[in-house]
């Protein structure tokens, strides 16, 4: 079975639902509390490559820090990645990662594509 890693925020209902869904399918992922142990810019780049998403698709634009940092949809990939690495609250969650692919657990069922 594929080993999965989940960037998890226990306060997020979608994140909790994704973990519960994986558990229902017999998958015990490596859970990373990304607010406590933020991913590096390189790790975020890897997730973007594996998911086929752009940085703006992984950013939580509704967070105050997004506007506080003067970020926008027009911001560069690099500036968004650096902002997420420095302010992990900006990372949309949950992110489910396998060896060669990654998905956003919105909806949680997306995680099933990796098992």
Expressed in angstroms, the distance from the first to the final Cα of the chain is 7
Query: Is 12 an annotated catalytic residue?
Result: yes
Given the residues 4, 10, 12, 93, the one annotated as active site: 12
The residues pairing with 11 across neighbouring beta strands, listed in sequence order, are: none
Q: What is the CA radius of gyration of the chain?
A: 14
Here the tokens at position 26 are 């017999």
Neighbouring C-alpha atoms within 13 Å toward the C-beta of 46 = 10
Q: Give the residue numbers annotated as catalytic, written as ranges.
A: 12
């Amino acid at each position: 079975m594929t080993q999965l890693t989940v960037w998890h925020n226990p306060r997020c209902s979608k994140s909790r639902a994704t973990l519960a869904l994986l558990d229902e399918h017999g998958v015990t992922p490596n859970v990373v509390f990304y607010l406590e142990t933020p991913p590096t810019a390189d790790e975020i780049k890897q997730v973007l490559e594996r998911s086929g998403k752009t940085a703006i698709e992984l950013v939580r634009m509704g967070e105050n820090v997004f506007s506080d940092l003067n970020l926008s949809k027009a911001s560069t990939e690099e500036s968004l990645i650096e902002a997420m690495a420095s302010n992990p609250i900006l990372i949309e969650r949950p992110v489910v990662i396998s060896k060669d692919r990654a998905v956003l657990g919105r909806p949680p069922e997306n995680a099933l594509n990796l098992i």
